[in-house]
Amino acid sequence: MKNKTLATWLAFLGGPLGLHRFYLYGRHDNVGWLLPIPSALGIWGMLRVQAYGVDDVLSWWLLPIFGFAYAACALNAIVIGLTQCETWNAKFNPTLEPEAAPGKSSWNTIFGIVLSLIVGATVLISSIVYSFQRYFEVQIDEAHQIANGLDQD
């Protein structure tokens, strides 16, 4: 029996580790095993920022990867939480009645959906902003170097 509320919360809280995928599809799920890779790369980017500062170019590429992976898992939590009871039970609990309790939404499901929307959107926007900010800072620095080189000639 697969519970929709539990799957929603697993996608929201443990999505970057693939916990919701393992819960829904078992330990042989390839996507579940691949999800920790972008999470680990993003965490490595965070560690590089702490160690080398915000001017570390590799961290500019690595850090947003975690944000995008987390945002995708938050979106998955929303999709899981909004799945109709009949559809959920037909897919994950085929031996149960279409209106069985594991597929029904509760306030806990709705709360998980709302938090996934808020946190996922915040993480996604922050990742995009960080990427663009670092890109444009580099472009401005290069433009200053070119301008200073032209002034000296």
Contact 81, 13 (CB under 8 A): no
Task: Provide the sign of the torsion angle of the four alpha carbons 55, 120, 16, 33, taken in this order.
Answer: negative
Quick one: pLDDT band at residue 153, thresholds 50, 70, 90? low
Which pTM value belongs to this model?
Answer: 0.84
> What's the average model confidence in pLDDT over 130-148?
82
Give the 3-state secondary structure of the chain. Answer: CCCHHHHHHHHHHHHHHCHHHHHHHCCCCHHHHHCHHHHHHHHHHHHHHHHHCCCCHHHHHHHHHHHHHHHHHHHHHHHHHHCCHHHHHHHHCCCCCCCCHHHCCCHHHHHHHHHHHHHHHHHHHHHHHHHHHHHHHHHHHHHHHHHHHHHHC
Contact 56, 75 (CB under 8 A): no
> What's the average model confidence in pLDDT over 121-145?
86
Quick one: pLDDT at residue 14?
94
Quick one: pLDDT at residue 55?
78
Quick one: pLDDT at residue 34?
93
> Tokens for 62?
């690595």
| Listed ranges 86-95, 107-116, 136-145; the one with the highest mean pLDDT | 107-116
